[in-house]
Chains A and B, each alone.
Chain A
Amino acid sequence: MNREGRPTRPEPAEAGSRTTFTGARGLDIEEALIFETGRLDATGVDIEEAAPFASRLGALASDAAPELPGLTEPEAVRHYVRLSRDNYSIDAGLYPLGSCTMKHNPRLNEKMARLPGFADVHPLQPTSTAQGALAVIEALADALLVMTGMSAIAMSPKAGAHGELCGMMAIKAAIAARGEGATRHVALVPESAHGTNPATAALIGFSVRSVPAGDDGNVSVEAVRAALAPDVAAIMLTNPNTAGLFERQIVGIAEAVREAGAYFYCDGANFNAIVGKTRPGDLGVDAMHINLHKTFSTPHGGGGPGAGPVALSSRLAPFAPVPFVRREGDALRLVEHAEGTESFGRMSAFHGQMGMFVRALSFILSHGADGLRQASEDAVLSANYVRASLNDLMSAPFGERICMHEALFDDRWLKDTGLSTLDFAKAMIDEGYHPMTVYFPLIVHGAMLIEPTESESKASLDRFIMTLRDLAFAAKAGERERFTAAPVYAPRRRLDETRAARQPVLRWTRPPAA
């Protein structure tokens, strides 16, 4: 559990900024909620009235429309366009969120996902009429197998955390099949792990045993051996890890885990750093989810949808969930039932995130083997370029070590400034940048995790670096106001998160009539 909080209530700002009649600030227009502007008798969809007929709804028919406001099309377009303008986006600027991989989203992929032969196909159509959709699943799975060097791919998980759940369920099933279900119920999880790892382990009834990382930011074979015991079912290790470092002893760890009769779950959130450079299957991984929205750039969409196919080793492949696609001669068939197989069951209705599969396949076809490798190299090159360009001003927890696709700094260098990582992040907003990931991983105090991705030009990287250098100099020069008051040029100043949590207002309610 994270026991370290941070300030969540801003100091009230000085009065004095000029206010406008509308509350707008030029192009930054204050937009009311649809419940305040929409009318309960309005609609923006023209629907022909049905000809008279005898209802067959029965006694459960409702007698009134839900109390939801309606907007005509011009009103709706304006409302959502105005809201959209309050968002930062990768299309508008460098978005250096470490661990999140905000790379460019090619628009070809959007166009392809909207082809009627993909977007307008029902998941339960006779499979004879959905061969193209099944072909996409097969083609993407084949490409992922080549990249991972593993034995099988479970395509249905809906996001990274769902993929983790899938992989861990397969491990649990494999252990049960060995007759060790009652005795092996511990997951080894490094303290640096994503929160989803321990949450997933707990969800399937495993308890969590912590493994420390060494001073170099890596987990050592010795530390793993010390934690391994007959009750251990699996290790959950992220590679490259959440500090942006390749786990140097991963092969030895995999061997130790296997010798101990346990399985190696690899959190594949950072697979984008190593595609085309090394294969998880060769490193000894038994299960790894792949965030299609990170590595293969399906859009993040303000928080999803994601997609989290899971690659499985031959030891776990028999336990993969249904459904899966099977080729029989020229035809593709869906296996939809677990009965009579060793499959552990079903993760979700239907067959996974087809819309994301098309986008990811389009990304893979576009890049090809050469482009995929180049993308990994450029991502790692860019992260190291940022790291090397800031190292003299900011402090890195693991020294001068070469990183993979993201550069990690801590807050030791801010120590005498009286400023926090949060202040630094908020000042970046005023400079027109989305902040990096802050306060993660938890093992690094005041962590700042920067992932530039392969999508940035050198000019863009240089501008970003110069901005951070300028901010770092300002912090050290005691220009506190520039940080503690920030942001001042964003659509909003810092928010009172304490109030949001103490007096939760989670929906709009009609104000009492005056």
Chain B
Amino acid sequence: MAELRYTKDHEYVRIEGGEGVVGISDHAQRQLGDVVFAENPRVGTMLKAGDPAAVVESVKAASDVFAPVAGEVVAVNSEVEAKPGLINEDALGTGWLFRIRLADPSEAAALMDEAAYAAFLETQA
């Protein structure tokens, strides 16, 4: 069963075994508006939690995507670079950004689960 965790910067990481799939939350894509550009890290990049890893841009806004957890980038979604609108259509699905091999599988537990993130968004409104 995949486990979905969120950061306060609105990244998500979906834990799948020893790996995590990273993207931006549905809330974040709505804030940005139509996404027109996405840039992923190179495969093989070693990231610490909080490192700037990717960039997502709309017409009038831009956002760095920070690594939610530490690890090595093992795959990137090249389709989203060609069709950045996927992030608007399905941020948690086909709009994922990159896949990371977790340095410390326990690290994700410190992040918010879906219920906690929903509560966090309430406080931001």
Contact = CB atoms under 8 A, between A and B. Distances in A.
Interface of A: 1-9, 439, 497-498, 500-502
A2 B31 CA distance: 11
Contacts of B61: 1-5
Contact of A498 (B36, B62, B64): B36
A8 B31 contact: no
With most chain B CB atoms within 10 A of its CB, the pick from A5, A7, A500, A502 is A5
B64 to A, nearest CB: 7
Nearest to A502: B36
Contacts of B37: 501-502
A1 to B, nearest CB: 5
Contacts, number: 51
B63 A3 contact: yes
- Report the contact-size class of chain B (Cβ under 8 Å from the partner): 10 to 19
Contact of B33 (A1, A5, A500, A502): A5
A3 B62 contact: yes
B75 interface: no
B58 interface: yes
Given A7-B33, A8-B33, A501 B59 contact: yes
Nearest to A1: B62
Interface in B3-38: 28, 31-34, 36-37
Interface of B: 28, 31-34, 36-37, 57-64, 84-85
A15 to B, nearest CB: 24
Given A4-B31, A5-B33, A8-B34, A502 B85 contact: yes
Contact of A5 (B31, B64, B84, B85): B31
Given A501-B37, A502-B84, A3 B59 contact: no
A498 B60 contact: no
Contacts of B84: 502
Contacts of B33: 5-8
Contacts of A498: 34, 36, 59
Given A5-B31, A7-B33, A497 B59 contact: yes
B32 A3 contact: yes
User: Is chain A's binding surface mostly helix, strand, loop or mixed?
Assistant: loop
Nearest to B31: A4
A4 B32 CA distance: 5
A501 to B, nearest CB: 4
Contacts of B59: 5, 8, 497-498, 500-501
Contacts of B57: 501
Given A3-B31, A3-B63, A502-B85, 7 more contacts: A1-B64, A2-B62, A4-B31, A4-B32, A6-B60, A8-B60, A502-B37
With most chain B CB atoms within 10 A of its CB, the pick from A4, A9, A500 is A4
B8 to A, nearest CB: 13
Contacts of B32: 3-5
A369 B69 CA distance: 62
Contacts of B31: 3-5
Contacts of A501: 36-37, 57, 59
Contacts of A500: 59
Contacts of A9: 34
A165 B5 CA distance: 42
A500 B62 CA distance: 16
Contacts of B62: 1-3
Closest 9 A/B residue pairs (Cβ): A5-B33, A501-B36, A5-B61, A8-B59, A498-B34, A5-B58, A5-B32, A497-B59, A3-B63
A2 B61 CA distance: 5
A409 B34 CA distance: 26
A1 B9 CA distance: 13
A149 B58 CA distance: 44
Contacts of A7: 33-34
20 contacts: A1-B61, A1-B62, A1-B64, A3-B31, A3-B32, A3-B61, A3-B63, A4-B31, A5-B58, A5-B59, A6-B33, A7-B33, A7-B34, A8-B33, A8-B34, A9-B34, A439-B60, A498-B34, A501-B59, A502-B84
A325 B5 CA distance: 63
